[in-house]
A = this chain, B = another copy of it.
């Protein structure tokens, strides 16, 4: 990826996290990224194209920070790996706060901007897939559909907990505790959920 293109995506994420998708003006963003408006359109075609690529960028960045401290792959404790990867999504660091804010805002905007939905579904699917893999390593005796359902619940929970934290409805430490318990509860239930046809 060209440096200029990356700089535009970094600036777009920052602007979305600060003012929301609806507060993002292409001209202002170009100024913030230090590029011309025409270069921005050259790279992303239009505003919708820019938003889609920003979503992809945010999703990739989350992959990177949840893989931190783990550059050599997973440990021999799959349960700890799972907890660590998921809890890294709920941290009060500038990067995670900005990423979570921008992701939540793009999710919320997609209710009103159908152009965003396909890319959002794709990024969500990839995230669920990664978490399902971790669950599969921690509970190999359960089936793949059960891993996927658990992964869907845990990722939905992370989105919802981030929203409560970022809107002051819940302290971060409490959100992290609820997530740790949810992981516990899902892991315990996993073999049983296979039998649940509810």
For residue A70, give the distance in angstroms from its CB to the closest CB of chain B.
20
Say whether A131 faces chain B, with CB atoms less than 8 Å apart: no
Say whether A124 faces chain B, with CB atoms less than 8 Å apart: yes
**What B residues does A125 contact at CB under 8 A?**
169
Are the C-beta atoms of B167 and A111 separated by less than 8 Å?
yes
Those of A124-143 within 8 Å (CB) of chain B: 124-125
For residue A60, give the distance in angstroms from its CB to the closest CB of chain B.
18
Are the C-beta atoms of A166 and B111 separated by less than 8 Å?
yes
Stoichiometry, copies per complex: 2
Are the C-beta atoms of A107 and B163 separated by less than 8 Å?
yes
Are the C-beta atoms of B189 and A185 separated by less than 8 Å?
yes
For residue A138, give the distance in angstroms from its CB to the closest CB of chain B.
15
A160 to B89, CA, bound (A): 15
**What B residues does A189 contact at CB under 8 A?**
184-185, 188-189
The 10 closest A-B pairs by CB, nearest first: A108-B108, A156-B160, A160-B160, A110-B167, A185-B189, A22-B22, A117-B168, A121-B169, A159-B160, A124-B169
